[in-house]
Chain A
Amino acid sequence: MNRVLIVDDDVQLCRLLSERLATEGFTIEAVHDGVRGLERALSAEHALVILDLMLPGVGGLDVLKRLRMKSPVPVLILTARGEDVDRILGLEIGADDYVPKPFNPRELVARIRAILRRTAHSSSTSSPLTAGDLRLDPHSREASLSGVLLKLTSIEFTLLESLMRQAGQIVSREQLTESVLGRKLGPFDRVIDVHVSNIRKKLGASEHSQRIKSIRGSGYLFAMRAES
């Protein structure tokens, strides 16, 4: 499935992007306002949503918030450089990654491919991972805690999966950025940290939220055993 939804009020940019991404084999559907964007994003017809945060009417952050209530579809947000607050907020609400505007189309394509590769990768069958009452099923990409389904986004699932696969080892932020986001870690890149903090929040008060430990200056570690 190579359908990509782009929600951006810049009509001409959407037209150019459709043309450009078509050469890479993607089918683009462009929508220019938030309400319609949310409607289309919820249709589950797209492999990925590219969402501009600066939208007239219902803003990008609102669209994202409402989308995340119902759908784990990967979301790439477009933010103008300097709007760091919006970017972090977007990631906290559940965006997978961000691309600063104006962007180089080649970089955008690389990001899209990285996210899609990750989603595709999951279809490979591998045995479920468990830690206590936390259970990850890479096949169905579902995580559950004490039998209750956790609403993890696609990126959060991948991140938790890679931490659990290397449980007991420190996984550096560089490694995580490359394996989960498919790109190099930037100088003030907090994307991974925001995702980790989102996972901790979703694990709630359970012992597992304590099991993802921050190792200052190096990275994160999924503890083998929960400490009492």
Chain B
Amino acid sequence: MSLTHRSLLVKIFLWFWATVLITAAASVITFWVRAHSSPYQWHASVIETTRISGETAIQTYEQSGPVAAARYMVQLEHRNLQNPCLFDQSHNVLAGRNCDALADMLPNLTEPGVPDFGVRFGVARVALKLRGASGREYVFAAEVPAGVPPGRPRGPRMTRLGYALQWAVALIVSGSICYLLTRYLTAPIFRLREAAHQLASGDLSARANSRISPRHDELGDLVRDFDTMAARIEDLVSRQRQLISDVSHELRSPLGRLNVALDLARQRKGDDPAFDQAEQDTALLNEMIGRLLTIAKLDVSARDVPMVQVDLSELLHQIVCNANFESHPNENRVTLTVESEVFVLGNPELLHSAIENVVRNAIHYTEPGTQVEIVLQHDAAHSSARIQIRDHGPGLPEAELTNIFRPFYRVAAARDRQSGGTGLGLAISDRVIRTHGGTIIARNAVPKGLLIEILLPEQAVGTPVPHL
């Protein structure tokens, strides 16, 4: 199956994969960002360290003066606190070097004890408002190198190849898992579709379950329901077929007896026009049963019609010969023009009866002294055979043109009854042509008359087909 036919598989697969990849990327990014922010515990300990250092600095400042405080600051710098600074309430520097770099944090401080924390150029910066033993307020600020949590040395840096490998493995693993999951979900759907397709094309024994290991989820239920439905349809259709064949037998048996009885009666009582009428009617009944059966068969089992290569010009020639022989042996009422030889794939008997029905209809309606014209052409645009059958009769009202292909449809009852037609001829033609994948349409000819056009798909050149 081509990719386009599997768009559901592709869609589900891509969505799954995208979801997995996006989730993975999101968690990677989160960890990365958190590594660059401060893990909570480290954050707290930095603040605590700063607070204790700050309180000690204030104590030193209040008890021993600015010089001692400055010395303490230098000590702090050796203990991992960079650039410690002590400010008074109005943000004047009391101790520390290079305190301007921290001055921007000071306005953010409001309450004593509430720290301001920030990360700048990979360095954590903390500022705290603290109260000294004298009751004066001070501000202590310091910087702590971030990203290197104490005691955790950074591992060796990964090479580019390493990253590529990592990503490739991630892609392959996630991709194959997603593919398997998708297959698991969509496989029954494809099987169902395949089975439904087979069923629709007439293979009533098609089942979906036989090819799927039993599943107990909703998809499994769906498959089982489908199979139940298919079995039911198969049963109904086979009963329908049986009915058709029974009807054929049962209706025809009395008809057969009637025929023999009529013939006996004729022998005993001599010729009587009543016998002729009765014989005609039994023949008509038989014809109608036959045609109804043809229609029913075409509707039920069009797929089973055996198809061979059919030479349309030969077929038409035969029909024209028969028609001319039967209608008026002395005048040719039907003419045939073969513009090009066309072969189609079809059932010769069905095609013969389909076209013959149209021709008989045309002969019936064409005005005395006029001819029915049949033209066989090759329609390159549709790669089809085009058969046109035109009479010179009264034609039809536009609204009736499509109705004439319906069973038992009669345009004008009075006009049609006398023909002795079954009312099924064109309905059969329509079904036969459609069974062959063709079209049949009726339209009015100019100046008058009916034109019936049959298009039949041409047989592809080189298709190996047995010739009968």
The residues of A with any CB-CB pair to B shorter than 8 Å are 10, 12-13, 16-17, 19-20, 23, 54, 80-82, 84, 101-106, 187-188, 190, 217
Contacts and interface: CB of A to CB of B under 8 A. Distances in A.
Given A102-B282, A104-B263, A106-B263, A84 B256 contact: no
A105 B260 contact: yes
Contact of A105 (B263, B348, B468): B263
B322 A103 contact: no
B290 A101 contact: no
A16 B256 CA distance: 10
Nearest to B259: A102
B335 interface: no
Interface of B: 248-249, 252-253, 255-261, 263-264, 267, 279, 282, 286, 290, 293-294, 297, 314, 318, 322, 348-349, 352, 468
Nearest to A18: B260
Nearest to A104: B259
Given A16-B264, A188-B348, A188-B349, A80 B248 contact: yes
Contact of B290 (A54, A82, A103): A82
Contact of A10 (B257, B258, B261, B314): B257
Contacts of A54: 249
B267 to A, nearest CB: 6
A105 B253 CA distance: 14
Given A20-B263, A102-B286, 18 more contacts: A10-B257, A13-B256, A13-B260, A16-B260, A16-B264, A17-B260, A19-B264, A20-B264, A23-B264, A80-B252, A81-B286, A82-B290, A102-B253, A104-B259, A104-B263, A104-B279, A105-B263, A188-B352
Nearest to B244: A82
26 contacts: A10-B253, A10-B257, A12-B257, A13-B257, A13-B260, A16-B257, A17-B260, A23-B267, A54-B249, A80-B248, A80-B249, A82-B248, A82-B297, A101-B252, A102-B256, A102-B259, A102-B286, A103-B259, A104-B259, A105-B263, A105-B264, A106-B263, A187-B318, A187-B352, A188-B349, A190-B468
Contacts of A187: 318, 322, 352
Closest 3 pairs (CB-CB, A-B): A102-B256, A16-B260, A105-B263
Contacts of B258: 102
Nearest to A12: B257
Q: Which of A106, A188, A217 has the most CB of B within 10 A?
A: A188
B324 to A, nearest CB: 14
B267 A82 contact: no
Nearest to B356: A187
Given A10-B253, A102-B286, A187-B352, A82 B293 contact: yes
A10 B256 CA distance: 10
A13 B252 CA distance: 11
Main secondary structure of the interface of B (DSSP, over half): helix
A104 B318 CA distance: 25
B253 A84 contact: no
A158 to B, nearest CB: 24
Contacts of B349: 84, 188
A103 B255 CA distance: 9
Given A187-B318, A188-B352, A103 B256 contact: yes
A182 to B, nearest CB: 20
A85 to B, nearest CB: 9
A101 B251 CA distance: 11
Q: Which of B249, B263, B322 has the most CB of A within 10 A?
A: B263
A105 B255 CA distance: 12
Nearest to A23: B267
Contacts of A16: 257, 260-261, 264
Nearest to B289: A81
Contacts of B260: 13, 16-17, 20, 105
Contacts of A106: 263
A10 B257 CA distance: 9
Contacts of B293: 82
A83 to B, nearest CB: 8
B412 to A, nearest CB: 30
B237 to A, nearest CB: 18
Contacts of B264: 16, 19-20, 23, 105
Contacts of A17: 260
A220 B249 CA distance: 36
Nearest to A216: B467
A106 B256 CA distance: 13
Q: Which of A16, A102, A190 has the most CB of B within 10 A?
A: A102
A90 B252 CA distance: 20
Q: Which of B253, B258, B260 has the most CB of A within 10 A?
A: B260
B419 to A, nearest CB: 21
B294 A82 contact: yes
A13 B258 CA distance: 9
Contacts of A84: 349
Contacts of A19: 264
A19 B262 CA distance: 12
A149 B438 CA distance: 52
Nearest to B268: A23
A101 B256 contact: yes
B37 to A, nearest CB: 84
B280 to A, nearest CB: 12
B263 A102 contact: no
Contacts of A23: 264, 267
A148 B340 CA distance: 51
Nearest to B318: A187
Q: Which of A10, A106, A190 has the most CB of B within 10 A?
A: A10
Contacts of B297: 82
B259 A105 contact: yes
A81 B290 contact: yes
Nearest to B282: A102
Contacts of A101: 252, 256
Contacts of B267: 20, 23
Contacts of B282: 102
Nearest to B263: A105
A80 B294 CA distance: 13
Contacts of A13: 253, 256-257, 260
A46 to B, nearest CB: 20
